Chain A
Amino acid sequence: MLETILFYLFAATSVTTALLVISRVNPLMSALWLVVCLASSAGLFALLSAPFLAIIQILVYAGAVMVLFLFVIMLIDISKEALKPRVVRFAKVVAVSITGYFTVIVCIVLWRPSFLPAPLADAAYGDVKVLGKMLLTDYAVPFELASLLLLAAMIGAVVMGKKKL
């Protein structure tokens, strides 16, 4: 019972804050709401008996990454003028209606209230040790590929950002 309550709490928070992230005009506010959003999804992880992921989520995303975000946003000076929404009214209307329609469709599709009870994860599921073992055995290839992904992103960032190559 408590779990159910907590689930709905975290879920509602993350959806609401996600909406707030994209609807704020001030990027600083968006970033701060994002911290909340990430933290509440960390709560969801914890509920799914994945404590390691929950901690990582808070440490890396809500902590380190967001701090970086805030620094960047504060460093680049965004004038009031640039903050005004610039989308054409007509396009806005279309966009809103399409998005609405999309949401309706998604709701219809997913509104089949026949959820199967998820099988209970065993106790060791979210364990760091198990996770580490899996990453280096069964999931070694995607793990390595993910590191390549980061490498590519890093090089890309340097290429795009550095003044003189």
Chain B
Amino acid sequence: MLNFIYQHFSIQTVAWLIVAFPLVGSIINWLIAAATSKKETEAFRGLTAFVGVGFPLLAFLAVGICYLTLIGFDGVDPKFVTGPLFQWAAGPGLTIDIGLNLDQLSLVMALVVTGVGTLIHLYSVGYMSHEPAYARYFAELNLFLFFMLILVLADNLLLMFVGWEGVGLCSYMLIGFWFEDIAKATAGSKAFIVNRIGDAAFLLGMFLIYGVMAAAQADPAHGYLNFATMASNSAAFAPVATIVALLLFVGACGKSAQIPLYVWLPDAMAGPTPVSALIHAATMVTAGVYMVVRLNFIYVLSPTAMEVVATVGAATAIFAATMGITATDIKKVLAYSTVSQLGYMFLACGVGAFSGAIFHLVTHAFFKALLFLGSGSVIHALHGEQDIRKMGGLKHKIPLTCWTFVIGSCALAGIIPTAGFFSKDAILWHAYSSGHIGLWLVGFVAAGMTAFYIFRLVGLVFFGQTTLSTDQWKKVHESPVSMLIPLLLLAGLSIGGGLFGVPEVMGGGDILGHWLSSIVPQVISHGGEEMHSQEIVLMVITSLWGLHFTVLGWVIYTQKRAWPIKMAEKLGAMYRLIANRYYIDEIYDALIVRPLVSFSRAFLWKGVDDVAIDGLVVYGTARSIGVFGRLASLLQTGVLQQYLLYFLIGAVIIVGYIAL
């Protein structure tokens, strides 16, 4: 099979096909959408779905071929660069080659993006089946996949930024997919605007990198922003590493929803559930983590920046977990959980465990996509109900959804032997072994909370007494096969996905760690027998801690549902604080948005804009230029003799200047 492909295509072609397939799918679906937009038609639904799922699948296969090819290079450095496809800009000091970079890291990302992406596209076929704008949905989702692949496969920071902005755009379009609903459209705008703040910092960071590279006189052959060029000149970053790293990290905070820019992600749940699963759980929001790992050579130069990343990550992890406990919307719980888990990934980056961050990124993509799709299945079954207090006992009606959801929850809670256990444990162990005991403790506590809130969700939704009315209860139905297949596959991955990173103390090979070893610095934690025993002890403690809260959450919310209400009453103010998400949105509104708006209105608009800019600059110049314009057109009298007179004046000047 592979040989057949090699005969007909170069591996570079296959690599470009990875990004080309989703784009083609998107274009086809846009055309279908354009053709059917005016008519109430069911036509082309089959084609739309076929194209929408088929092209991501082809992309996945192409990634698979590249992956197998890479593995085939035994003993050789398996990294190969597809090289520049074309030169986008060339000039003195500014060369930008557009090229792909398939190395171990980007391949892992591409596998996750296309693999999970394909499953979610398949799931969407059933989930969105009642949707009139079917083709538009698939077109946007395929476009997202295209930009996401550009983001992870780009071989330079600028192309990565193109993908970065592109996924932001698609995220905006898909959050506001039902844009007739003003609240949903607003949620889309919010996501877009908050991300702009991060992007501004990202751009500044990029400019700074450019400046550094120019000053270091790096080889401009592929452009200064090429990752390989940057990595080989990484020493030049030393003086400004902290500021560069922090600027880029602000960008990552925006995209990956970290404190203080996380506020858009819970609102982003306004989009269709598969979108939440793909964009706001599995792929796009992890772009920040990917970027930090990709640029690890800058981060390791600055211990300060690493501290900041780790601290922000840990703080986000615990902060979001507390909000997850009180949220009542099934998707909001998962959204806070995502924010919290992303915090773990940044924690891992901050303590230097880059491969741990990627490991958690991968497993998180599996189980969080599973959880979102499961919640989608629940919502689908309940015809749009999202409040978990109005559910219960659903395991009898939708058993498959229920049990796959439980598997996902176990993975999230970190129960042995699911994927989540290994990845979360790796992060906590690295935090501990690198000496960040405080951060470890925070992560440890957050892990307990995670287990608690997710099994609170499981208990309330699937077990115990139902709170549904009889009518509603009768209408509950299991989802179609196209939605169940992704659930089953993802459940399998959530259990087995951890095998890639079983730590060496447990007899595993830490396959992922070795795979990534040429890209990220190895964590030196093999301190002999003593460390090994510490690692095992910690592992046992962590898993018992998680298990404890799992059981606690499950028991309380299936059998003793009155307890938490009493607790909430007793805690009073504290509960209200958390339930209202610490009033962060309100605080931002009061501190930033409203002053900004009133300042803008009173001063910038009425004062600066109306009077100074419009009055003086815009209309003023327009008027004065208008006067000149009128003068200039007065010259055009239509009288030929006068024209010849101008001619003669010109002749006088020219002859006078040149010949005199």
Name A's B-contacting residues (CB within 8 A): 87-88, 91, 94-95, 98-99, 101-102, 105-106, 108-109
11 A-B pairs in the complex with CB atoms less than 8 angstroms apart? A88-B639, A91-B642, A91-B645, A98-B645, A98-B648, A99-B648, A102-B651, A105-B655, A105-B660, A108-B660, A109-B659
Name B's A-contacting residues (CB within 8 A): 639, 641-642, 645, 648-649, 651-652, 655-656, 659-660
Residue of B at shortest CB range from A92?
B641
Residues of B within 8 A of A106 (CB): 655
Q: Is the CB of B652 within 8 A of A102?
A: yes
CA distance A81 to B645 in the complex (A): 24
Q: Is the CB of A109 within 8 A of B655?
A: yes
Query: Which residue of A87, A101, A105, A106 has the most chain B CB atoms within 10 A of its CB atom?
Result: A105
Residue of A at shortest CB range from B645?
A95
CA distance A105 to B651 in the complex (A): 10
CA distance A127 to B346 in the complex (A): 96
Residues of A within 8 A of B649 (CB): 98
Residues of B within 8 A of A105 (CB): 652, 655-656, 659-660
Q: Which of A87, A99, A102 contacts B655 (CB 8 A)?
A: A102
CA distance A91 to B645 in the complex (A): 8
Q: Is the CB of B660 within 8 A of A109?
A: yes
Residues of B within 8 A of A108 (CB): 660
Q: Which of A91, A101, A102 contacts B641 (CB 8 A)?
A: A91
Residues of A within 8 A of B641 (CB): 87, 91, 95
Q: Is the CB of A94 within 8 A of B645?
A: yes
Residues of A within 8 A of B660 (CB): 105, 108-109
CA distance A102 to B639 in the complex (A): 21
B649 to chain A, nearest CB (A): 6
A85 to chain B, nearest CB (A): 10
Residues of B within 8 A of A99 (CB): 648
Residue of B at shortest CB range from A87?
B641
CA distance A92 to B272 in the complex (A): 79
Main secondary structure of the interface of B (DSSP, over half): helix
Contact A102:B648 (CB < 8 A) given known A108-B660, A109-B659, A109-B660:
yes
A103 to chain B, nearest CB (A): 10
Residues of B within 8 A of A101 (CB): 652
Residues of A within 8 A of B655 (CB): 102, 105-106, 109
B656 to chain A, nearest CB (A): 6
A127 to chain B, nearest CB (A): 36
Residues of B within 8 A of A102 (CB): 648, 651-652, 655
CA distance A101 to B648 in the complex (A): 10
CA distance A95 to B651 in the complex (A): 13
Residue of B at shortest CB range from A85?
B641
CA distance A105 to B652 in the complex (A): 8
CA distance A91 to B641 in the complex (A): 9
A86 to chain B, nearest CB (A): 9
CA distance A157 to B190 in the complex (A): 70
CA distance A105 to B650 in the complex (A): 13
**Other A-B pairs, 4, CB within 8 Å; known A88-B639, A101-B652, A102-B655:** A98-B645, A98-B652, A109-B655, A109-B659
CA distance A106 to B648 in the complex (A): 12
CA distance A101 to B651 in the complex (A): 11
CA distance A106 to B641 in the complex (A): 21
B655 to chain A, nearest CB (A): 6
CA distance A95 to B647 in the complex (A): 11
A7 to chain B, nearest CB (A): 25
Query: Which residue of B642, B649, B652, B655 has the most chain A CB atoms within 10 A of its CB atom?
Result: B652
B593 to chain A, nearest CB (A): 64
B642 to chain A, nearest CB (A): 6
CA distance A95 to B642 in the complex (A): 8
B200 to chain A, nearest CB (A): 58
Residue of B at shortest CB range from A99?
B648
Residues of A within 8 A of B651 (CB): 102
Residues of A within 8 A of B659 (CB): 105, 109
CA distance A5 to B652 in the complex (A): 33
Residues of A within 8 A of B648 (CB): 95, 98-99, 102
Residue of A at shortest CB range from B641?
A87
Q: Which 5 residue pairs of A and B lie closest in terms of their CB atoms, listed nearest first?
A: A109-B659, A102-B652, A98-B648, A95-B645, A87-B641
CA distance A43 to B651 in the complex (A): 30
Residues of B within 8 A of A94 (CB): 645
Residues of B within 8 A of A88 (CB): 639
CA distance A76 to B656 in the complex (A): 42
CA distance A29 to B96 in the complex (A): 72
Residues of B within 8 A of A98 (CB): 645, 648-649, 652
Residues of B within 8 A of A87 (CB): 641
CA distance A108 to B652 in the complex (A): 12
CA distance A106 to B660 in the complex (A): 9
A22 to chain B, nearest CB (A): 12
B432 to chain A, nearest CB (A): 90
Residue of A at shortest CB range from B656?
A105
CA distance A109 to B656 in the complex (A): 9
Residues of A within 8 A of B652 (CB): 98, 101-102, 105
CA distance A105 to B642 in the complex (A): 21
B387 to chain A, nearest CB (A): 83
Residues of A within 8 A of B642 (CB): 91
Residues of A within 8 A of B656 (CB): 105
Residues of B within 8 A of A91 (CB): 639, 641-642, 645
A70 to chain B, nearest CB (A): 24
CA distance A91 to B655 in the complex (A): 22
CA distance A112 to B659 in the complex (A): 12
B28 to chain A, nearest CB (A): 52
CA distance A98 to B645 in the complex (A): 8
Residue of B at shortest CB range from A95?
B645
CA distance A91 to B640 in the complex (A): 12
Residues of A within 8 A of B645 (CB): 91, 94-95, 98
CA distance A98 to B652 in the complex (A): 8
CA distance A95 to B659 in the complex (A): 22
CA distance A108 to B660 in the complex (A): 8
Residues of B within 8 A of A95 (CB): 641, 645, 648
CA distance A99 to B642 in the complex (A): 13
Residue of A at shortest CB range from B658?
A109
CA distance A105 to B641 in the complex (A): 21
A107 to chain B, nearest CB (A): 11
Residue of B at shortest CB range from A91?
B642
CA distance A99 to B647 in the complex (A): 11
Residue of B at shortest CB range from A98?
B648
B500 to chain A, nearest CB (A): 78
CA distance A38 to B642 in the complex (A): 28
CA distance A109 to B649 in the complex (A): 17
